[in-house]
Amino acid sequence: MDRRAFGIGALATLSVSACGTSDPRFLRYRGPEVTSVVVNKSARKMYLLHHNQILKEYKVDLGFAPDGTKTKYGDGRTPEGTYLIDRRNPNSRYHLSVGISYPNAQDIAAARAAGVDPGGDIFIHGEPNRRKERKRAKKTPDWTAGCIAVKNSEIEEIYSMVKEGTVITLRP
């Protein structure tokens, strides 16, 4: 990663506080706007950016077959390309989650041409809520079906910082 382009070392200070609700998962963020999210799959890193300045950096787990881009339902791959954060799920099976607009029109066209279902329901999410699934996830890196997983405390930050409509770029 080009350190100049992303301003490593210039991490912004978070101002996260409880938001007047009894649910501690919902935090309020009072810092610079997250203008984009970048995931470098090979480095297992995700960056929340304000223009070219890194605000936060996270270690991530990916789909169980992380090499290459997602092409069909069930392939265990995390997509590559540029998408949008398009939804939020406070009732996720994985603590909290924010949705990624996969598949886009190009993904759908490629899947149709190959005669397959492109899949969907790709999220940035926390750890599984169910104990049995949580134990399995902790034993293996890259355990999701194609999503991007972080720790629960991290998805709480991400959920408060990243708004719908934010661009997310997933790189090989």
pLDDT, one tens digit per residue, over 99-126 is 999 999 999 999 999 999 999 999 999 9
Q: Span 9-35, mean pLDDT? A: 66
- 93 φψ region: left (φ > 0), alpha (ψ -120 to 50), beta (else): alpha
Question: Do 150 and 141 touch, CB atoms closer than 8 A?
Answer: no
Residue 33, pLDDT above cutoff 60: yes
CA angle 94, 164, 66 (to 5 degrees): 50
Highest mean pLDDT among 11-15, 27-31, 133-137: 27-31
Q: Which CATH class is domain 3-171?
A: mainly beta
Between β-strands 148-149 and 53-59, what pairing exists: parallel, antiparallel or unpaired?
Answer: unpaired
What does pTM read for this prediction?
0.84
Segment among 14-18, 61-65, 70-74 with least mean pLDDT: 14-18
pLDDT more than 90, % of the chain: 74
